[in-house]
Amino acid sequence: MAEVHLPLSITYETEGVTPVADVITALQATDALVKDASSLLPSLIEGLQVEKCSLNVRSLTQESPLREIFFISLFLAFQDDLEREVSSVLEDLFNITVSDDYDTLVTVALLAIAFYGVGLAIDTVKKTFADSLPREKFEELVQVLAAETGKPAADIRSIIHARFGKPAAAKRLVRSAKGVFLPSQRDKNAPMMVDRDRISSEVIREIPYPGDSDQEADFDRYTPHEAVPLELHAQDRDRSATGWAAVAPSISESRLKVRVIDPVKPSALWGHDKVVADVVVVSKLTANGYTPTEIQITDIVSLGGDGSDQSHPRTE
């Protein structure tokens, strides 16, 4: 077993003194995110096992700007059938070649899961899958992880989805993701730096503000899918929010509620038993993880069962 120490710095470009309560919230959130990020490392680096992780404060400056300098202690082990030197692991952890913004892979993983959690929070507020600057940032970080580890971006997304697929994990992540940005939000969405990656005010402004309602939030998952065949089992020509149901065999064999989302009009679907559409699948958290409960139709690809019967211009 080997112990390694990895640097991490977070600077909030605040103008005044940050309240102690906000500093504590941010420190606790950072600690939780570091532990979650370290738990992803074995899925990103073949043969690596993380036995223990701790976050240690090297220095803390509360006045403007608020600056937190840490080192992360990782206790590492390896699978018995893989002979790898500690120096090789250190190279994997430190050697960020595609970007000068980050000191270690742990920083990239930490930010990726933080913005993944922010994306869940935004979807919960808007009740649909929402494009946003935080989600763009998440995708950017996934690409960095893919380039550094050699794993496809789709696999990295799947690893993160699986890690936070249970109710307790998803709610904990959203709470931590909001908490780490709190000092910036309290000070007019001040920009912040993580290592050398500057997160702008525009990005922070889109992050939902922590509130008392967080405990009651449903944290539904909103997942977009393109060109999904749907079998319509109930229709209502005039209403988009009620009276519709469908089966999407590629997603679930169950009959699901359907919501028709603007600019799609219910009348465009009326009378068609089968359509191919771009959709957002709404999945609710249950004791067994996320379960699809609703399909939101966001665009029509074709009116027919295989996408070739009647073409339909996509909504611009």
pLDDT (tens place) for every residue of the chain, 316 residues total: 788 889 999 999 999 889 999 999 999 999 999 999 999 999 998 878 888 999 999 999 877 899 999 999 988 887 655 555 555 666 566 667 778 888 889 999 999 999 999 998 888 887 777 789 999 999 999 999 999 889 999 999 999 988 987 778 888 999 999 999 999 999 999 999 999 999 999 999 999 987 644 555 566 788 889 999 999 987 666 665 667 889 999 998 889 999 888 888 888 888 888 999 999 999 887 777 778 999 999 999 988 754 445 555 555 5
- Structural contact between residues 37 and 113, judged by C-beta atoms closer than 8 angstroms: yes
Residues of the chain with CATH 2.40.50: 221-302
Domain 221-302 has CATH 2.40.50: yes
- pLDDT (0 to 100) of residue 219: 66
d(CA 179, CA 25) in angstroms, rounded, equals 6
What pTM did the predictor assign?
Answer: 0.77
- pLDDT (0 to 100) of residue 291: 87
- pLDDT (0 to 100) of residue 212: 45
**Nearest Cα to Cα of residue 23 among 48, 55, 60:** 60
- pLDDT (0 to 100) of residue 234: 75
Widest pairwise Cα distance in the chain: 67
